[in-house]
Chains A and B, each alone.
Chain A
Amino acid sequence: MLFFSYFKDLVGREVTVELKNDLAIRGTLHSVDQYLNIKLENTRVVDQDKYPHMLSVRNCFIRGSVVRYVQLPPDGVDVDLLHDATRREARGG
């Protein structure tokens, strides 16, 4: 559940989600669930001309299984905190 909790902390931040079909979407992280499904708000597609059908999509739900990367804001990663959480999770609790 570490990454689930981690993404929950990023709610409200601006992220770019790159999908396995190479579509990259930038938007405000609205919510995330245990499958790492993601909901974005105020979305815009990075390569708009290539995906004209996405023009009128403002909010979207992305299935966790199709996500390749999530690009985070530079200050979105607290490495020490993440290290501690990882060790805690590895110990089983």
Chain B
Amino acid sequence: MNFTSLSERTPALEIAGLHKRFDRPAVNGFDLAVRAGEFYALLGPNGAGKTTILRMVAGLLRPDAGAIRIFGVDALADPVAAKQVVAWVSDEPMIYDKLTPFEYLEFVAGLWGVDAAAAAARARDLIDWLGLTGHAHERCEGFSKGMRQKVALAGALVHDPKLIVLDEPLTGLDAGSARQVKEVLRARVRAGGAVVMTTHILEVAERMADRIGVIAAGRLIAHGTLEELRERAGSGQASLEDAFLALVAEEAAA
């Protein structure tokens, strides 16, 4: 599916003044705008609030304050409509051990109300694309972490989402599987979809992201292209890792 017509005017994701507190503030006035057709990487040290933000975007947590709009839909006022176009993939693939990948995709398609024939065709494509053809009708209980993550990713794509939200999706994947996942995500962005992803693998963010956001203590402390971040950190031609560490250290010192 091509989302370009949607992408021109409507931002894929707009977050404004987002707050969430557990024992202490986890997200503290977070703002973000991601365009359709954009790959956005969210970086930050452990405990910075990345996962909390993404879980609020996916509708898994309710913010204490702030606004989230997904392709123009107020996700807090109308979560069901917002969820229709979002897919969530976490670092720990949540699939059913006793279902086969094909049955899992059938279930996900049912949840999103996708037409059965279209879902079946898309499921076959995804299973082939992700190299799961030989395992499509085996129960997932014996699958490796990489295979489970691929099944979860196929589930996220089977309903053709416009916004894919991923929390550390490459954790534990081998090089081949990680490349397949990256290719799938790139293809979605080329088709006009938007991807927001957290990662600790800075090389992935450096290579794949159109823009990168750096978050610390629940706030966005810097964002922009790689060059803009380098400039902001005053680190010239240094790697993203150097720029990231400089920005986080600067924030900690402030």
Q: Do A and B bind each other?
A: no
Task: Enumerate chain B interface residues (CB-CB to A < 8 A).
Answer: none
Task: Enumerate chain A interface residues (CB-CB to B < 8 A).
Answer: none
